[in-house]
């Protein structure tokens, strides 16, 4: 039952605070969840802390326990919220029972307005991308995309992996934006933020339809995933590969299935990912292996073995990224680490800080992916030596844009091929004929 006296007091408190969307979302969330507020305090960051009894979707940050099939230990509040929320036991001792019950995944269908994103980050090898989903059911505890859920008024913790958004009109938008006169052909990466082949893709098939659009236009695409589901679309991928229009990067963090289950509870097993590399390679699809992230004192000893196994499976390129702990991920990863590996937690975090000048993370371009210092240097040298020995070093496949053509629509006037086309296959205006 909701305490109306507390609610009246809290609403009055909200009215005295700076107005904003985050406040409104929190009020709606409190009403929706119907949680009883037991007590309130102030967090170290200065935000009020609302301590609520145990409910579905939130386990206390203190003594956090795993929910079945989930990576995060809590639904800790995002940085834009006026309150920090943590769960407290109400005295009935039901934390263990809640942790053993599955947390259902909810998918909200969205009609997006645009679909191709652009970035100018100097340490990222692509400028344009498409993300068909928000949030990711894989639940990887280290996922660098978790903080993006805070922009939606949701938790980067459990909400990120259980409250998803599917952009159901993404293929139509993709075709529309490729058809726009201002578009200039360049590779587009599918799923660099949240995995395009996460489990809900089996139902929505948005990524497959994006590939169908890419094939129709001759648009080069790259794919980043840790799911063996990518092999489902091998028919389209193999046709794109024949025209040098696709490259797939598969992420392998560890070969230890037990550790992978704890870190990446709903991602494909390491063996399945290696099988996917082999399946795609045999079909002529170029595949890169990404050892990402390399987690100090936890997975770093597997670096050379992962590269070797991926090479044997058919990978032709390789890369690596060190563990990144920006914003809310730092606290979420710490909860996970203390819960599962309390004996290693201090050592792991000490090595992470040694790469970032004593902090959990340094967001500077050129530094954030690899870190600095003796430990980071040693990992880099190990990768270089292993990649060179295995023939994975220095090989970068550049996708082709010469096949790009805007396909005619029903009712369009047909022209002779090449008569009014530029090098990219786009029809030139009458006043701009090629000299």
250 contacts 276 by C-beta, under 8 angstroms: yes
Alpha-carbon span 52 to 280, nearest angstrom: 49
CB within 8 Å of 42: residues ≥ 6 apart: 48, 49
What pLDDT was estimated at residue 91?
66
Q: Are strands 128-130 and 188-190 parallel, antiparallel or unpaired?
A: parallel
Structure tokens at 115: 């679909």
E strand or H helix that includes residue 303: helix 303-313
- Beta-carbon neighbour count of residue 34 at 10 Å? 9
pTM value > 0.95: no
- Asked whether the beta carbons of 133 and 157 are under 8 A apart, the reply is no
What string of pLDDT tens digits covers the 435 residues of the chain? 444 444 444 444 444 444 444 444 444 443 444 333 333 344 444 444 444 333 333 433 444 556 777 877 776 766 666 666 666 666 666 566 666 667 788 999 999 999 999 888 877 778 899 999 999 999 899 998 888 877 788 878 888 888 999 999 999 999 999 999 999 999 999 998 899 999 999 999 999 999 999 999 999 999 999 999 999 999 999 999 999 999 999 999 999 999 999 999 999 999 999 999 999 999 999 999 999 999 999 999 999 999 999 999 999 999 999 998 988 888 889 988 988 888 999 999 999 999 988 888 787 887 888 888 999 999 999 999 999 999 998 767 789 999 999 988 776 665 555 554 555 555 544 444 444
Cα–Cα distance measured from residue 235 to residue 205, given in angstroms and rounded to the nearest whole number:
14
106-110 and 133-134 as β-strands: parallel, antiparallel, unpaired?
unpaired
For 94-136, the DSSP string reads -HHHHHHSBPPPEEEEE--S--EEE---TTSS-SEEE-SEES-
Q: For strand 116-118 and strand 128-130, is the pairing parallel, antiparallel, or unpaired?
A: antiparallel
Name all domains of the chain by residue range, CATH numbers in brackets.
Answer: 4-100 (no CATH), 106-390 (3.20.20)
As a whole number of angstroms, the distance between CA 283 and CA 189 comes to 20
Tokens of 178: 């490729």
Confidence at residue 413, expressed as pLDDT on a 0 to 100 scale: 62
> What is the Cα–Cα distance from 201 to 210, expressed in whole angstroms?
12
Both tokens of 238, joined, read 């193999």
Strands ordered across the beta sheet of 133-134: 106-110, 163-167, 133-134
Q: Which of 46, 280, 70 has the alpha carbon at shortest distance from 161? A: 70
DSSP 231: G
Asked whether the beta carbons of 129 and 137 are under 8 A apart, the reply is: no
């Amino acid at each position: 039952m909701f305490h109306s006296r507390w609610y009246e007091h809290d609403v009055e408190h909200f009215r005295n605070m700076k107005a904003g969307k985050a406040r409104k979302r929190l009020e709606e969330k409190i009403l929706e969840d119907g949680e009883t507020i037991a007590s309130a305090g102030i967090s170290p960051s200065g935000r009020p802390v609302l301590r609520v009894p145990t409910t579905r979707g939130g386990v206390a940050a203190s003594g956090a326990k795993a929910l079945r099939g989930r990576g995060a230990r809590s639904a800790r509040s995002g940085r834009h919220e006026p309150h920090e929320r943590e769960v407290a036991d109400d005295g009935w001792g039901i934390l263990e029972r809640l942790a053993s019950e599955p947390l259902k995944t909810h998918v909200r269908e969205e009609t997006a307005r645009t679909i191709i994103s652009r970035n100018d980050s100097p340490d990222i090898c692509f400028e344009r991308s498409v993300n068909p989903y928000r949030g990711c059911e894989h639940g990887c505890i280290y996922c660098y995309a978790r903080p993006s859920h805070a922009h939606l008024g949701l938790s980067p913790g459990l909400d990120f992996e259980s409250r998803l958004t599917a952009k159901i009109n993404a293929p139509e938008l993709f075709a529309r934006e490729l058809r726009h006169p201002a578009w200039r052909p360049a590779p587009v990466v599918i799923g660099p933020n949240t995995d395009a082949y996460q489990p809900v893709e089996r139902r929505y098939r948005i990524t497959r339809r994006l590939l169908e659009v890419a094939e129709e236009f001759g648009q080069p695409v790259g794919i980043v995933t840790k799911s063996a589901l990518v092999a489902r679309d091998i028919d389209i991928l193999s046709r794109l590969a024949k025209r040098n229009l696709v490259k797939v990067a598969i992420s392998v963090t560890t070969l230890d299935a037990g550790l992978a289950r704890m870190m990446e509870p709903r991602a494909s097993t390491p063996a399945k990912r290696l099988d996917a590399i082999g399946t795609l390679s045999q079909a002529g699809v170029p595949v890169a292996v990404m050892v990402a992230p390399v987690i100090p004192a936890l997975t770093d000893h597997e670096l050379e073995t992962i590269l070797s196994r991926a090479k044997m499976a058919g990978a032709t390129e390789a890369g690596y990224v060190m563990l990144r702990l920006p914003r809310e991920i730092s606290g979420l990863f710490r909860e996970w680490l203390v819960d599962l590996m309390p004996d290693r937690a201090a050592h792991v975090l000490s090595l992470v800080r040694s790469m970032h000048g004593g902090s959990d993370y340094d967001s500077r371009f050129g530094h954030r992916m690899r870190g600095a210092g003796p430990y980071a240097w040693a990992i880099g040298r190990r990768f270089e030596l292993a990649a060179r020995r295995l023939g994975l070093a220095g090989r970068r496949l550049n996708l082709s844009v010469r096949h790009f053509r805007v396909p005619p629509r029903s009712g369009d006037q047909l022209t002779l091929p090449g008569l009014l086309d530029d090098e990219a296959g786009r029809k030139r205006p009458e006043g701009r004929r090629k000299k």
